[in-house]
Amino acid sequence: MKRILITEELATFLNSMPVLNIDNISITHSLIIRDLSKLPLEDDESNPTHNSYMAITKNGYGYPFTCNINQINQLLSLIINDINQRTNEKL
């Protein structure tokens, strides 16, 4: 899964984006989901039913993803699995 380091400049930009309310989704990690769907996309082949998001972890990494609003729970599960796998590799 693609993961990027959140720089100070990127954090400032992301902080200007709306937070997606995920209160109805049960997750085991502290994540903030920023809704990037209002940004103009360079890719003309993008699916119009999908939105772009960034899941931000407390350790300064972001997971960009694009999906339908109904698929966010599935994508968050994949992100959490990636976080757990990376944590276990460090041990």
Instruction: Please answer whether residues 4 and 58 qualify as being in contact, where contact means their C-beta atoms are separated by less than 8 angstroms.
Output: no
User: How many residues are there in the chain?
Assistant: 91
pLDDT digits (tens, 9 = 90+) for 27-79: 778 899 999 987 765 554 556 667 899 999 988 999 999 888 888 889 999 99
3-state secondary structure of 43: coil
Pair 63, 3: CB distance under 8 Å: yes
- Please state, in angstroms and rounded to a whole number, the distance separating the CA atoms of residues 9 and 69: 27
CA separation for the pair 40, 71 (Å, rounded): 21
pTM score of the predicted model: 0.82
Of 13, 49, 5, residue with least CA distance to 34:
13
